[in-house]
A = this chain, B = another copy of it.
Amino acid sequence: MAFLLRAARWGLCPWRGYCSRVTKGALSEDFVAALKAVVGAPHISTTAAVREQHGRDESMYSCQPPDVVVWPQNVGQVGQLVALCYRQGVPILPFGTGTGLEGGVCAVQGGVCINLTHMDRIVKVNTEDFSVVVEPGVTHRALNTYLRDSGLWFPVDPGADASLCGMAATGASGTNAVRYGTMRDNVLNLDVVLPSGELLHTAGPGRHFRKSAAGYNLTGLFVGSEGTLGLITAATLRLHPVPEATVAATCAFPSVQAAVDSTVHILQAAVPVARIEFLDDVMMDACNRYSKLDYVVAPTLFLEFHGSEQTLEEQLQRAEEITKHNGASHFSWAKEAEQRSRLWAARHNAWYAAMALRPGCKGYSTDVCVPISRLPEIVVQTKEDLKASGLTGTIVGHVGDGNFHCILLVDPKDPEELHRVKAFAQQLGRHALALHGTCTGEHGIGLGKRQLLQEEVGAVGVEVMRRLKATLDPRGLMNPGKVL
């Protein structure tokens, strides 16, 4: 270990090319011993493989590993670890499932990675109050498995089996947001370890009321703060009743405009659609090939409706009328779980289908969100820009929210192509901003969108954010280099 620490200190590394990062200061053996004293020897690691595993997420950003990884077993240990690091001026990096998409876990200044997955209790389900308290190791799938017989579920689903506290930190959402909202709408309370090591309950200790007008909305401030203000060690979430029945549907359109118009008309008709997802022709083609399907290669909507048997029939009928009025063809639907799953297979496997377009490449997903009325023009423009850029990419969107992703395939060993992907993503972000949109609907700012954030909220907005950051994290040690 001593060798490793020295290697890190000197910027040497026997394994991989991740040592070019600037560390804020190397960690002394005494300091590492102090960390070990907090969590116990089995719960700390400085091995290269472990560090490397904790320095990357699912994005195209190159791995920047922390100096040490620790696994606290409880919130008391988290508080001690954070206070210890803060006193010593060592960066603190929270880590959950590592499924982020914007480099949020990269240790750009080195430091201590706090892996929170050993804290994985579902602390309390309040069935009558439609709420649950979870520790940071609990993923949304684990929670829904646990809730199976309760009649309740947690609907926010970003695709990957992310941890719920990580989703809160990112401000995640996903396919169900059009009906059930995002993490911003579904977090009732957070336990947050502040830089001082103190524990903040954003809505007060143990509170799980549905609404409040009591003081500043601290819960809202920490949701989406990406670990830059404090470490989330528990989340109280809002649960929803499991729908009595579900119907899935798909249909193809002659144009992007027709698909988006249908979406607007469905929303205006107050059809309480649970999911409404858009896949472009390139994505559909890739899905056909990957999942051996025979969908029409055209802009396509995937819909899902939740409700009672009777209301589902009506929702489906209205959606069919509206989409057909907008020129849709091949309208099909399914009610039984297995058939629904088959109908949505293209959507469920979209990421892998895109990856299969260029085996061996990595995927990077853009994430802009615009007012829904501007969606057709930006999708059409993006498809033209894609063609002009020579990049391979598909489009999939949470079209009911105006949020869409362009999944770009990139050879991580080709710096020129990486550069082109970054340039394309920046251009798309700027285009969304010009249409009164945001550069990120659900993936966060992370490393790469800090410039876009400045353009999005303007000088005054960034200055307010900076002041908030400075007042809560005066030494700038909480997940440094992210967001601002």
List A residues at the B interface (Cβ < 8 Å).
Answer: 126, 128-131, 151, 170-173, 177, 181-182, 184-185, 194, 198-218, 220-221, 223-225, 229, 240-244, 264, 267-270, 272, 306-308, 310-311, 314, 367, 369-373, 401-403, 433, 436-445, 449, 452-453, 456-458, 460-462, 464-465, 467-472, 483-484
B-side contacts of A212, CB under 8 Å: 171, 369, 438, 440-441
Decide: A213 and B440 in contact? CB cutoff 8 A. yes
Q: A200-B464, A221-B220, A402-B210 are in contact. Are A215 and B128 (CB under 8 A)?
A: no
12 A–B pairs (Cβ distance < 8 Å), ordered by A: A128-B371, A202-B461, A205-B458, A207-B437, A210-B369, A210-B401, A212-B440, A214-B453, A241-B269, A241-B270, A270-B308, A468-B471
C-alpha spacing A467/B372, complex, angstroms: 37
Decide: B217 and A268 in contact? CB cutoff 8 A. no
Q: A453-B215, A461-B202 are in contact. Are A209 and B128 (CB under 8 A)?
A: no
Decide: A204 and B470 in contact? CB cutoff 8 A. no
Q: A217-B223, A443-B213, A445-B214 are in contact. Are A268 and B457 (CB under 8 A)?
A: no
Tell me how far the C-beta of A367 lies from the nearest C-beta in chain B, rounded to whole angstroms: 8
Decide: A206 and B436 in contact? CB cutoff 8 A. yes
C-alpha spacing A333/B242, complex, angstroms: 28
Tell me how far the C-beta of A131 lies from the nearest C-beta in chain B, rounded to whole angstroms: 7
B-side contacts of A151, CB under 8 Å: 268
Q: Top 8 A-B pairs ranked by shortest CB distance?
A: A220-B220, A171-B213, A128-B373, A129-B371, A212-B438, A241-B270, A471-B471, A204-B457
Tell me how far the C-beta of A154 lies from the nearest C-beta in chain B, rounded to whole angstroms: 15
Q: Is the interface of A mostly helix, strand, loop or mixed?
A: loop
Decide: A401 and B211 in contact? CB cutoff 8 A. yes
C-alpha spacing A367/B372, complex, angstroms: 37
B-side contacts of A468, CB under 8 Å: 216, 221, 468, 471
C-alpha spacing A133/B274, complex, angstroms: 27
Residue of B185, B201, B209, B216 near A185 (CB, 8 A) is B185
Q: A128-B373, A213-B441, A218-B461 are in contact. Are A241 and B224 (CB under 8 A)?
A: no
Decide: B211 and A216 in contact? CB cutoff 8 A. no
Decide: B436 and A402 in contact? CB cutoff 8 A. no
Decide: A372 and B214 in contact? CB cutoff 8 A. no
B-side contacts of A201, CB under 8 Å: 457-458, 460-461
Decide: A216 and B221 in contact? CB cutoff 8 A. yes
Look across to chain B and name the residue whose beta carbon is closest to the beta carbon of A439: B214
B-side contacts of A199, CB under 8 Å: 460
Q: A215-B453, A465-B218 are in contact. Are A208 and B371 (CB under 8 A)?
A: yes
Residue of B131, B205, B456 near A371 (CB, 8 A) is B131
Look across to chain B and name the residue whose beta carbon is closest to the beta carbon of A368: B209
Decide: B211 and A182 in contact? CB cutoff 8 A. yes
Tell me how far the C-beta of A295 lies from the nearest C-beta in chain B, rounded to whole angstroms: 28
Decide: A373 and B126 in contact? CB cutoff 8 A. yes
B-side contacts of A209, CB under 8 Å: 369-371, 402, 436-438, 441
B-side contacts of A218, CB under 8 Å: 457, 461, 464-465
Look across to chain B and name the residue whose beta carbon is closest to the beta carbon of A151: B268
B-side contacts of A194, CB under 8 Å: 460, 464
Decide: B128 and A217 in contact? CB cutoff 8 A. no
Look across to chain B and name the residue whose beta carbon is closest to the beta carbon of A403: B211
> Max chain B CB contacts within 10 Å: which of A215, A221, A452, A465?
A215
Look across to chain B and name the residue whose beta carbon is closest to the beta carbon of A182: B211
Decide: A129 and B372 in contact? CB cutoff 8 A. yes
Tell me how far the C-beta of A124 lies from the nearest C-beta in chain B, rounded to whole angstroms: 11
Tell me how far the C-beta of A469 lies from the nearest C-beta in chain B, rounded to whole angstroms: 8
Decide: A221 and B217 in contact? CB cutoff 8 A. yes
Tell me how far the C-beta of A442 lies from the nearest C-beta in chain B, rounded to whole angstroms: 5
B-side contacts of A370, CB under 8 Å: 209
> Max chain B CB contacts within 10 Å: which of A204, A209, A306, A438?
A209
